[in-house]
Structure 1
Amino acid sequence: MPRLLASALAALIVTSVPLRAAPADDLLEALRIDDMLRIMRDEGMDYGRDLSTDMFGRPASARWEEVVSEIYDTDRMREIVREGVEEGLEGQEVPAILDFLESQEGQHVVALELVAREAMIDEGTEAAARERFRAIEGSDDPVLLEVERFVEANDLVEANVAGALNASFQFYQGLADGGAIEITEGEILSEVWATEEETRADTRDWLYGFMLMAYTPLEQARLEDYVELSATDEGRLMNRALFTGFNTMYDSISYALGLAAAREMQGEDL
C-alpha cells in the first residue's frame, strides 16, 4: 500500500501549471481507499480478538485491543498501500480504468464491492455467501459465469493464496523474532506450505462468495462490460498493482501481529 512526487523546485517555478496527482493516488481515490481501509481495520480488530482466544486462551484484554488497534493504523496502512501500488504501476497510467472508476457507473460498482466486503465481516453473512457459491458452483448461472471470467483473467485465486501464505510466513517470523517459538526459516516454510491446499479452498469459497454478493445487483450487461475491462492490459496492470500494495500491507501487519503475540505470551509467563 507509492507515488510519483512532484519536484518541490518545479512546483515553485512553474506556478502556472497545476499539480497532477500521481496515477496511484487517482486510482486509490477512485477506489475509495479510506473506506476500504476502514473495513479492513474492522476485519483486523475481529481477527485480533480471535487470535487472543486461539493463542492466549482468553477473550481479548483492553491492552491487547489497544495493541491490535495500533497495528491496524489506517494512516500507516494507506501509505504502505500507496507505495506498493505506485511500484506495481511501474510508471504506467491506466486512463481507461480511471475513466470507468470515476464515472457514476464505476462508483456504483465500487460501492457494491465495499458494501459486500463490510457485510462479509459478519460470520453469518459470510457463511451464507459461501453456501450460495457452493450451491451454484458448476452451473450456468450468468453472474457466476462472469465472476469466473473475472477471476481467471486476473488469476485472483492464486494471487490471493500467495498473499495469504506470505502473510502467514510473516506471522511465524514475528513469533520467532519475538521469542515465542524457536523455529528455522525452513521450518516456517514447511509449516506454511502444508496449509496451501486448505488455504486455496478457503480462499476460493470466500472470493466467489464475496464477488457473487457484490455483483449480483448489477445489470448483466454492465457486469459483462466491467469484467471485459478487467481483462484488458490496463485491468490486469491495476490488479497486479493493487496486489503489490495490499500484500505488502498485510505482510507488515502479520509480522507486527506475530511480534505482538509473542510479547503478550511472554508477559503472561512472567
Structure 2
Amino acid sequence: MLIRIALAAALALAVLLPGRVQAEDPVAQVSRVLRLGEVITVMRQEGLDYGQTLRATLFPDQGGAAWAREVDTIYDVSRLQAAFDARFRAALPVAQVPAILAFFDTDRGRRIVSLEIAARMALRDPDVATQAHQLLDDMTKAHAPRLAALRAFAAANDLVESNVSGTMNSDVAFYEGMVAGHAKGFEMTEAQIVAEVAAQEDSIRQDTEDWLYSFLALAYAPLSDADLAAYTDFARSPAGTALNRALFTAFDGVFDAVAHDLGRAAARVLSGHAL
C-alpha cells in the first residue's frame, strides 16, 4: 500500500511538473541499494523473538497476549524505518554516496547484499544457527584461510567492538527503562546500571563473536576470495568507513530507544500494571 501511494504521488508530480525530472535522493539511493527496508523487517522479526525470550526470562506467567501486542508495537516497521532514516540521513556524508553506489550498485554488490539478508533471515532457524556454528568450528580447527579473511573483514569494519558497545548501550537503556517504569526489584542508580552491564562485558563479547563469525561464515560462503577481498578493501576506504559509521550510528540510536521502551513495558508487567 505504501509503495502504491508513493508511486501515485510520483506520477501526479510528473503530470503537474512536466519536463522536470525528480532525481532520487542520494541517501535514499543508498538505502534502496542496500535494501535497508528488508534489513529492518528482519530485525523486527528478531525483535519479536527477543520479546518472547524476555517474557520467558522475566515473567513467564504474566503478560501473555498483551505483552505480545506491546512488543509488536515497539518493533513496528514503519516506526523503526522512520527513526532509522532520520539518523542515517544525518550521519551519512553525501559526498561519499557515489563511491558507495559504485561498489554496491553492481552485480557483485547486489549479490553481497542478498547473501547478507538471506543469512540473517536463515539464522533465526535454530537448526541453521547450529549448522553455521559447526561451519565456523570446522574452519577454526582447519585453520582455514577463509577464517583469516573473515577476521580481516570484521576488523576493517570494527564489527566486534561496535557490536559489543552497541549491545552494552542497549542493555543500559533497557535497565534505564525498567527503572523509569518503577519495576519491582530494579531500584538502581545510573552507576549501578553501568556497573551491572560492565560486569557482563566478557560474556557479551563472547556471544557477539560467536554470532558474528557464524553469520559471516554462512553469508559469505558463496563468495570467491577475490570478492571478499574486494569487499574488505571497500570497507577500509573512506566511503566504506563513512557508510559503516553511519549504519552503526543509525541502528544504535534506533535500538537504544527500542531497548528503553522494552524496559518500560517490562516494568509495567512486573509491577502488575496493564499494558
TM-score, length-scaled by structure 1: 0.89
CA shift for structure 1 position 235: 0.6
Counterpart check, 1:136 vs 2:133: no
CA shift for structure 1 position 91: 4.3
Counterpart check, 1:227 vs 2:232: yes
3-state SS, counterpart of residue 94 of structure 1: helix
Counterpart check, 1:21 vs 2:24: yes
CA shift for structure 1 position 140: 4.3
CA shift for structure 1 position 222: 1.6
CA shift for structure 1 position 139: 5.1
Listed as ranges, the matches of 1:62-141 within 5 Å are 62-137=65-140, 140-141=143-144
Residues 143, 215 of structure 1: 8 Å contact kept: no
Q: Which amino acid aligns with 1:217?
A: P
Residues 27, 97 of structure 2: 8 Å contact kept: no
Counterpart check, 1:217 vs 2:235: no
Counterpart check, 1:152 vs 2:155: yes
Q: Structure 2: 5+ residue runs without aligned partners? A: 1-16
Provide closer, same or farther for how the CA distance between residues 103 and 248 of structure 1 changes in structure 2, counting only shifts above 3 A: same
In structure 2, what is the Cα distance between the partners aligned to 1:51 and 1:155?
28
3-state SS, counterpart of residue 95 of structure 2: coil
Residues 134, 205 of structure 1: 8 Å contact kept: no
CA shift for structure 1 position 88: 2.0
Residues 42, 120 of structure 2: 8 Å contact kept: yes
Which residue is equivalent to 1:3? none
In structure 1, what is the Cα distance between the partners aligned to 2:95 and 2:143?
37
Counterpart check, 1:199 vs 2:212: no
**Which of 180, 189, 192 pairs up with 1:184?**
189
> Could you list the per-position Cα deviations for residues 46-99 of structure 1 after superposition, in whole angstroms to 9, with x for gaps in the alignment?
111111110002386111111100000111111111122222224433312212
Q: Which amino acid aligns with 2:246?
A: A
Instruction: Give the root-mean-square deviation of aligned CA atoms.
Output: 2.2
Q: Which amino acid aligns with 1:195?
A: Q
Provide closer, same or farther for how the CA distance between residues 175 and 15 of structure 1 changes in structure 2, counting only shifts above 3 A: farther
Which residue is equivalent to 1:8? none
**Which of 30, 49, 52 pairs up with 2:52?**
49
Residues 49, 59 of structure 1: 8 Å contact kept: no
Residues 117, 210 of structure 1: 8 Å contact kept: yes
CA shift for structure 1 position 128: 2.7
> Could you list the per-position Cα deviations for residues 93-135 of structure 1 after superposition, in whole angstroms to 9, with x for gaps in the alignment?
3312212212222111111000100111122322332232233
Which residue is equivalent to 2:261? 256
> Could you list the per-position Cα deviations for residues 35-56 of structure 1 after superposition, in whole angstroms to 9, with x for gaps in the alignment?
1111111101111111111000
Provide closer, same or farther for how the CA distance between residues 178 and 59 of structure 1 changes in structure 2, counting only shifts above 3 A: closer
Residues 177, 264 of structure 2: 8 Å contact kept: yes
Which residue is equivalent to 1:243? 248
In structure 1, what is the Cα distance between the partners aligned to 2:38 and 2:140?
31
> Could you list the per-position Cα deviations for residues 18-44 of structure 1 after superposition, in whole angstroms to 9, with x for gaps in the alignment?
333333221111111121111111101
In structure 2, what is the Cα distance between the partners aligned to 1:59 and 1:136?
43
Residues 62, 269 of structure 2: 8 Å contact kept: no
Identity %: 36
In structure 2, what is the Cα distance between the partners aligned to 1:235 and 1:138?
31
Listed as ranges, the matches of 1:3-18 within 5 Å are 18=21
Q: Structure 1: 5+ residue runs without aligned partners? A: 1-13
- Tell me which moved more, 16-25 or 40-49: 16-25
CA shift for structure 1 position 148: 1.1
Write out the 4+ residue segments of structure 1 that deviate beyond 4 Å after TM superposition.
14-17
